[in-house]
């Protein structure tokens, strides 16, 4: 299914092309990723594994794993990074692909040789800001990214960003920030941008090998300094059914829904209550997808409280101190079961609830993709890393961190430029974890408009303080930074700018009614398509989702710049200071099935998705051999699949410790030298464009 209408994103016209899947003629959009075209046509199973004939589906949608491999025109390819073209013949990959018959001799060509002072791998927020900083200092830069647009994960983010307006475009949606940064990078003549290009290796002679897949061309880039801004990859999770089609990462979900406008799901369950999981729920609701709930084994939300509050009042429950028992279905996700945990994180099976879902999103953290930093150090070249490749944090922090690393690289290459001390201070603040939560209350004293600011937790954010035309919103002085809470003091004309710009949708405007005693006017932000008319009744929700009764719609105004509706409501006066939003999702959606349906078999859970190595198989191998080195497990095929261990190796230490191996005795696995698969004909430049 396609998303034909979205409250934030523009739905553009596309050229349709025809293709076949397993002999059936289908239609997709030219240039979109094959995986998205398949999803839009209701196809979730991409391959059948040789072990147990298990169906395989999408997981990362970022080219990191190989779960989405299909056969296209006779060759196995990752469908999530392969653009759809007219007439493609696509087939399910069943077991192992056949080696195509090809006896044609082709001449080999040497790779194109390029050079620059600084090579930057990854054009997300930190990579772009590093490139801009270096370019403005006079350095020649080559900026490489495997996507066709710059911005990294920003291109998937439809929400407004927290942080500082002056330093990282706070109050602006991620999709717009990506466009701003790309435009700034393209203005610099000394930045060469290589899109749809993948760095596959950093070599000891100070060169990088780059595969340009659309031209099937292999390129060498010589450089003096290397900046690694390759971001992070999503962590997997061990539970029965974790390999079923329909279990995939939150980033993959955002790719399908926000980049490709594919309605990937009908009902989702989200595992993880950090910002990624919370934002994923928000994006799902905007796309018209039901969210039955979020769960986390922790006792508190680890993301911003203002994010969690926003999700709960939209009608999505959050289950803390809960774990995912398992996922079931006939070749795809159909049910998911959760349960409370005790103080030792063991599931309390008597509390189990089963939900009917077609998708389980995994949002349990990220692992830095920093292999090139290690390669650069081994090659003896000046190398730095930034963004999530260095430390997992918000994109706002990555932008400032990129600027700092740009200057650090300039110094490594001989420049005497200094970095302002306040830059590091700002970067530290922007990556701060949520701070204290404070109580605050409001009352309507006068008859004029007054903003009700419903953020209660210290987080780095200041957009509301910058837009008031009367400079009436200021941060309190507890820390003297943008971690402080905003407070209103002064004049309010009811312009609504503070309501529109708040990333947490946590500001409303209220005033006593001029028409009837005991009533009040309330203006709330709303970022969903709606059909509210004057006189319509809506269900009001409090800060943390409490039901507050009904309000009557008086007017609705859409702001094109912020792409946010301002809904003016008539409410009882006592609710004007409590109501923060309008219920979006019917609570009936979130009810579990009448009876829990599960089998608790953790040893059957898959660890290595590529080779289908389970927890039980690893434990048995450890029992039969003295295992302290993860490389030993490669004998049992762990990490020997197409993804090269990117998905499973983070999970293995925990399994080894369950099998009795002490953590300090565990030696890490050796990663493969090339980060992605590269056709031999490309390495020899036998099949693509030549210079």
The per-residue pLDDT for 690 is: 47
- 581 vs 445, which has greater pLDDT? 581
- The tens digit of pLDDT for each residue in 523-567 reads 999 999 999 999 999 999 999 999 999 999 999 999 999 999 999
Interval 481-522: pLDDT, tens: 999 999 999 899 999 999 999 999 999 999 999 889 999 999
Residue 680 — pLDDT band, cuts 50, 70, 90?
confident
Q: What is the per-residue pLDDT for 671? A: 75
Residues 146, 196 contacting (CB under 8 angstroms): yes
Which of 141, 142, 165, 161 lies closest to 153 in space, CA to CA? Answer: 161
| Token digits of residue 221 | 């880039």
- Please name the residue ranges forming H helices in 591-679: 615-624, 652-658
The pLDDT of residue 599: 61
Average pLDDT over residues 284-313: 96
Whether 628 has a pLDDT exceeding 50, the answer reads yes
Give mean pLDDT, residues 310-333: 96
Residue 589 Cα distances to 50, 266, 291, 593, angstroms: 37, 11, 8, 11
The domain limits of the chain are 16-97+236-362, 112-232+368-430, 450-584, 602-665
Strand, helix or coil for residue 511: strand
Quote the CA–CA distance of 274 and 96 in Å, as a whole number: 38
What mean pLDDT, rounded, does the chain reach? 93
Pairing of strands 112-121, 217-228: parallel
pLDDT tens digits, residue range 577-607? Answer: 999 999 999 999 999 999 887 666 578 889 9
Kindly report the pTM of this predicted structure.
Answer: 0.91
Q: Of 42-51, 87-96, 128-137, 661-670, which range is least confident?
A: 661-670
Report the distance separating Cα 653 and Cα 657, nearest Å.
6
For 35, left (φ over 0), alpha (ψ -120 to 50), or beta?
A: alpha
- What pLDDT sits at residue 369? 92
What pLDDT, on a 0 to 100 scale, did the predictor assign at position 194? 97
Residue 605: predicted pLDDT: 85
- Tell me the mean pLDDT in the region 67-87: 94
Same fold, 16-97+236-362 and 112-232+368-430: yes
Residue 105's pLDDT is: 79
Residue with more model confidence, 510 or 103 = 510
What confidence score (pLDDT) does residue 160 get? Answer: 95
Angstrom CA distances, 182 to 134, 152, 193, 259, 504, stand at: 15, 11, 10, 16, 26
pLDDT at 598: 64
Angle at 523 between CA 521 and CA 527, to 5 degrees: 155
Mean pLDDT for 641-665 is 86
Helix spans in 214-304 (H):
250-254, 275-286
Q: Which long-range contacts (CB under 8 A, 24 or more apart) does 431-438 make?
A: 431/391, 431/393, 431/394, 431/397, 431/401, 432/459, 432/460, 432/483, 434/303, 434/304, 434/305, 434/458, 434/459, 435/459, 435/483, 437/305, 438/485
Segment 47-76, tens digit of pLDDT: 999 999 999 999 999 988 889 999 999 999
User: pLDDT value at position 596?
Assistant: 86
Query: How confident is residue 688, by pLDDT bands cut at 50, 70 and 90?
Result: low
Say which CATH class 112-232+368-430 falls into. Answer: alpha beta
In the numeric block, the tokens 């004049």 are attached to 491
Q: Which CATH topology does 16-97+236-362 take?
A: FAD/NAD(P)-binding domain (3.50.50)
What tokens appear for 610 in the block? 């590529």
* Alpha helices, DSSP H, located in 561-675: 615-624, 652-658
Report the distance separating Cα 683 and Cα 679, nearest Å.
7
CA distance linking residue 420 with residue 548, whole number of Å: 49
- Which of the four pLDDT bands, split at 50, 70 and 90, describes residue 43? very high
Among residues 492, 478, 392, 401, which one has the least CA distance to residue 442?
A: 492
Q: Give the rounded percent of residues in the chain with a pLDDT score beyond 90.
A: 78
pLDDT tens, 351-402? Answer: 999 999 999 999 998 999 999 999 999 999 999 999 999 998 888 999 999 9
CA–CA distance, 652 with 158 (Å, rounded to integer): 34
């Amino acid at each position: 299914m396609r998303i034909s209408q979205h409250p934030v994103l523009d739905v553009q016209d596309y050229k349709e092309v025809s293709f076949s899947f397993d002999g059936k003629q289908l239609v997709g959009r030219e240039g979109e990723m094959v995986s998205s075209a398949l999803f839009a046509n209701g196809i979730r199973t991409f391959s059948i594994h040789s072990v147990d004939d298990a169906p395989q589906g999408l997981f990362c949608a970022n080219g990191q794993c190989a779960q989405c491999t299909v056969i296209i025109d006779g060759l196995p390819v990752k469908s999530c990074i392969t653009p759809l073209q007219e007439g493609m013949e696509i087939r399910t990959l069943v077991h192992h692909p056949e080696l195509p018959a090809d006896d044609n001799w082709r001449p080999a060509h040497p790779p194109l040789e390029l050079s620059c002072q600084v090579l930057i791998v990854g054009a997300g927020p930190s990579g772009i800001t590093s490139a801009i900083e270096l370019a403005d200092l006079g350095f020649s830069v080559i900026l490489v990214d495997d996507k066709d647009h710059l911005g990294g994960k920003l291109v998937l983010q439809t929400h407004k960003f927290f942080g500082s307006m002056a330093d990282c475009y706070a109050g602006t949606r991620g999709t717009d920030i990506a466009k701003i940064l790309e435009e700034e990078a393209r203005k610099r003549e000394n930045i060469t941008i290589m899109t749809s290009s993948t760095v596959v290796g950093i070599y000891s002679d100070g060169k990088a090998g780059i595969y340009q897949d659309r031209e099937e061309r292999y390129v060498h880039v010589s450089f003096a300094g290397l900046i690694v801004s390759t971001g992070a990859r999503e962590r997997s999770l061990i539970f029965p059914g974790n390999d079923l089609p329909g279990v995939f990462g939150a980033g993959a979900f955002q790719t399908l829904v926000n980049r490709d406008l594919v309605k990937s799901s009908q009902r989702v369950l989200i595992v993880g209550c950090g910002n990624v999981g919370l934002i994923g729920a928000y994006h799902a609701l905007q796309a018209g997808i039901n969210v039955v709930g979020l769960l986390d084994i922790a006792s508190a939300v680890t993301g911003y409280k203002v994010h969690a509050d926003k999700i709960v009042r939209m009608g999505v429950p959050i289950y803390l101190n809960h774990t995912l028992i398992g996922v079931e279905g006939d070749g795809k996700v159909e049910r998911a079961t959760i349960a409370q945990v005790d103080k030792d994180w063991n599931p309390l099976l008597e509390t189990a609830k089963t939900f009917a879902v077609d998708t389980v999103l995994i949002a349990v953290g990220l692992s830095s993709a920093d292999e090139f930093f290690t390669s650069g150090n081994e090659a003896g070249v000046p190398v730095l890393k930034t963004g999530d490749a260095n430390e997992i944090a918000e994109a706002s922090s990555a932008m400032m961190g990129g600027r700092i690393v740009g200057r650090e690289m300039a110094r490594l290459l001989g420049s005497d430029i200094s970095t302002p001390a306040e830059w590091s201070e700002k970067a530290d603040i922007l990556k701060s974890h949520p701070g204290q939560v404070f109580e605050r209350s409001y009352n309507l004293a006068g008859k004029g408009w007054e903003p009700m600011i419903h953020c209660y937790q210290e987080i780095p954010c200041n957009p509301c303080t910058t837009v008031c035309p009367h400079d009436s919103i200021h941060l309190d002085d507890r820390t003297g930074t943008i971690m402080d809470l905003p407070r209103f003091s002064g004049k309010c004309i009811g312009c609504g700018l503070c309501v529109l710009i708040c990333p947490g949708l946590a500001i409303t405007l209220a005033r006593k009614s001029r028409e009837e005693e005991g009533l009040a006017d309330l203006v709330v932000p709303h970022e969903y398509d709606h059909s509210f008319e004057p006189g319509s009744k809506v269900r009001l929700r409090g800060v943390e989702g409490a039901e507050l009764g009904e309000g009557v719609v008086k007017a609705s105004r859409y702001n094109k710049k912020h792409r946010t509706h301002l809904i003016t409501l008539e409410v009882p006066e006592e609710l004007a200071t409590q109501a923060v939003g309008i219920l979006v999702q019917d609570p009936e959606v979130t009810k579990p099935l009448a009876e829990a349906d599960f089998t608790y078999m953790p040893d059957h859970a898959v660890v290595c998705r590529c080779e289908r190595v389970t927890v039980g198989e690893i434990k048995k191998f450890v029992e039969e051999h003295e295992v302290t080195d993860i490389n030993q497990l490669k004998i049992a095929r762990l990490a020997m699949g197409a993804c090269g261990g990117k998905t499973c190796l983070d999970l293995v230490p925990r399994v080894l410790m369950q099998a009795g191996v002490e953590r300090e005795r565990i030696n890490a696995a050796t990663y493969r030298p090339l980060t992605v698969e590269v056709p031999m004909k490309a390495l020899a430049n036998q099949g693509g464009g030549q210079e």
